[in-house]
Chains A and B, each alone.
Chain A
Amino acid sequence: MRARARVRVRRTLLTTVAAVGTTALLLAGCAQDPDESPDQGAPATGKSGGAAQTTLTVGVFGAFGLQEAGLYDEYMAQNPGIRIEQTSIERNENYYPQLLTHLGTGSGLADIQAVEVNNIAEITATQADKLVDLGKAPGVDKAAYLPWKWAQGTAPAAKGGATVGLGTDIGPQGICYRKDLFEAAGLPSDRAAVGALWAGDWNKYLEAGRTYKAKAGEGKAFVDSASGVMAAVTGSSAQRFYDDQGKVVYKTNPAVRGAFDLAASFATDGLSAKLQQFTPTWDQGFSNGSFATVSCPAWMLGYIQDKAGSAGKDKWDVAQAPKPSNWGGSFLVVPKAGKHAEEAARLAAWLTAPAQQAKLFEKRGSFPSASAAYKLPAVSGAQHAYFGGAPIGEIFSKAAEGVPVAAVGPKDLVIAQNLADIGMLQVDQKGRSPQEGWEAAVKAIDNALDQ
Chain B
Amino acid sequence: MTDETVVLSPSAVGPERPAAEGGGRSGRGGRAQVWRSRRYRWDLRFSPYAFVAPFFLFFAAFGLFPLLYTGWAALHQVELTDPDSMTWVGLRNFTRLWDDEFFWNALRNTVTIGLLSTVPQLAIALGLAHLLNYRLRGSAFFRVAVLTPYATSVAAATLVFVLLFGRDYGMVNWALSAVGFEAVDWQNGTFASQFAVSTIVIWRWTGYNALIYLAAMQAVPGELYESAALDGASRFQQFLHVTVPSLRPTIFFTCVVSTIGATQLFGEPLLFNGGAAATGGSDHQFQTLGLYLYEQGWVNLHLGRASAIAWAMFLILLLIAGAARLLRGRKDSR
Contact = CB atoms under 8 A, between A and B. Distances in A.
Interface of A: 2, 5-6, 8-9, 12-13, 15-16, 19-20, 22-23, 26-27, 91, 93, 97, 100-101, 104, 122, 126-127, 276-282, 284-285, 288, 290, 410, 414, 417-418, 421-422, 425-426, 429-430, 440, 444, 447-451
A216 B53 CA distance: 73
Given A5-B40, A281-B168, A430 B188 contact: yes
Nearest to B187: A429
Given A16-B47, A280-B163, A451 B53 contact: no
18 contacts: A9-B36, A13-B43, A15-B47, A16-B47, A23-B53, A93-B298, A97-B80, A101-B80, A290-B168, A417-B299, A421-B282, A422-B284, A426-B283, A429-B187, A444-B102, A448-B295, A448-B300, A451-B302
B43 A8 contact: yes
Interface stretch (B206-214, B226-234, B270-278, B319-327): B270-278
Contacts of B301: 97, 100
Contacts of B261: none
Contact of B102 (A12, A277, A447): A447
Contacts of A23: 53-54, 57-58
Contacts of B102: 444, 447
Contacts of B167: 281
Nearest to A97: B298
Contacts of B168: 281, 284-285, 288, 290
Contacts of B295: 448
A450 B100 CA distance: 11
Interface stretch (B81-89, B129-137, B197-205): B81-89
B39 interface: yes
Nearest to A410: B81
The 3 A-B pairs of least Cβ separation, nearest first, read A279-B274, A425-B282, A16-B50
Contacts of A451: 77, 79, 302, 304-305
B269 interface: no
Contacts of A418: 279
A65 B202 CA distance: 40
B181 interface: no
A422 B43 contact: no
A429 B36 contact: no
Contacts of B43: 8-9, 12-13
B169 A417 contact: no
Given A9-B39, A126-B82, A280 B54 contact: no
B162 interface: yes
Contacts of A9: 36, 39-40, 43
Contacts of B305: 451
A126 B81 contact: yes
Interface in B59-91: 61, 77, 79-84
Contacts of A127: 81
Nearest to B190: A430
Given A8-B43, A421-B282, A122 B81 contact: yes
B98 interface: no
B21 interface: no
A447 B100 contact: yes
B3 to A, nearest CB: 12
B51 interface: yes
Given A449-B300, A451-B79, 19 more contacts: A5-B36, A5-B37, A9-B40, A13-B43, A16-B51, A19-B53, A19-B54, A23-B54, A27-B57, A97-B80, A281-B167, A281-B169, A284-B166, A418-B279, A422-B284, A430-B282, A444-B284, A447-B102, A451-B304
Contacts of A447: 100, 102
A410 B245 CA distance: 59
A437 B274 CA distance: 20
Contacts of B82: 104, 126
Contacts of A26: 54, 58
B100 A279 contact: no
Contacts of A290: 168
A276 B168 CA distance: 12
A185 B106 CA distance: 45
Nearest to A281: B166
A70 B5 CA distance: 67
Contacts of A97: 80, 298, 301
Contact of B275 (A100, A122, A278): A278
Interface string B288-311: 000000010011111011000000
A101 B276 CA distance: 21
Contacts of A284: 166, 168-169
Contacts of B166: 280-281, 284
Contact of B54 (A22, A122, A414): A22
B282 A426 contact: yes
Contacts of B163: 280
Nearest to B96: A450
Contact of B274 (A15, A20, A280, A288): A280
A273 to B, nearest CB: 8
